[in-house]
């Protein structure tokens, strides 16, 4: 039976670049693939899948919920690649799982594991529960040379844990960070806020 893969990493870990490289390899062999992404990811254009390295392509399917994946003829497809899987609802992940079984199709999903509050995204949590293979795409911390495991949000140069869980952005808003640097930056921002409140 074909497998459901979850390849996760922090921001800046070249997840989309990895996806595009896999897509290129399949196409170079003359194999047909389907590229998918969440409908809500409009950072680089609604139908564009783009890496920070500048490579890009067009998505074949925009996923809103599980219904977006139903009624598609998957015959002749060699592989399905899904970008930004963390933004998908759990039921869409269930549907991807079903497709691997019913169509015997490998599905490779790329995305973040946790948000900037260090909480699992809904889509990522379901992937952790259902995926046959879970692989980490490693990257280094923005502040030091340790491995990054956190996604640090910053606003006006200061770290923050405030705001909605889903808030689109790239390097202008998020840094990859190890846990030590993540906590240091958050605590530093909290101290500054406390000092500003005391002097106001």
Q: Compute the distance between CA of residue 168 and CA of residue 146 in angstroms, rounded to an integer.
A: 25
CA dist list (Å): 115 to 42, 88, 109, 157, 183 = 18, 13, 17, 19, 14
Q: Is 84 a catalytic residue?
A: yes
Catalytic residue among 56, 84, 122, 136: 84
Determine the Cα–Cα distance for residues 49 and 86; give it in Å rounded to an integer.
Answer: 15
| Burial (0-12, 13-18, 19+ Cβ within 10 Å), 83 | buried
Four-residue CA torsion sign, 37, 38, 42, 46: positive
DSSP state of 75: T
54 and 88 in contact (C-beta within 8 Å)? no
- State the catalytic residues: 84
């Amino acid at each position: 039976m074909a497998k459901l893969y979850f390849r996760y990493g922090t921001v800046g870990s070249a997840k989309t670049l990895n996806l595009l490289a896999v897509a290129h390899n399949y196409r170079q062999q003359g194999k047909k693939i389907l590229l998918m992404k969440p409908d809500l990811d409009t950072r680089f254009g609604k139908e564009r899948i783009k890496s920070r390295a500048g490579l890009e392509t067009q998505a074949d399917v925009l996923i809103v919920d599980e219904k977006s994946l139903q009624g598609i003829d998957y015959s002749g497809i060699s592989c399905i690649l899904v970008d930004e899987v963390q933004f998908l609802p759990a039921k869409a992940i269930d549907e991807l799982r079903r497709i691997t079984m019913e169509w015997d199709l490998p599905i490779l999903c790329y995305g973040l594991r946790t948000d900037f509050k260090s909480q699992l995204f809904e889509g990522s949590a379901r992937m952790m529960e259902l995926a046959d293979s879970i692989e980490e795409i490693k990257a280094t911390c923005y502040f030091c040379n340790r491995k990054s495991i956190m996604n640090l949000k910053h606003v006006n140069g200061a770290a923050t844990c405030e705001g909605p869980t889903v808030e689109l952005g790239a390097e202008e808003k998020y840094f990859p960070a190890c846990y030590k640097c993540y906590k240091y930056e958050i605590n530093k921002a909290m101290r500054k806020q406390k000092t500003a409140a005391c002097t106001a």
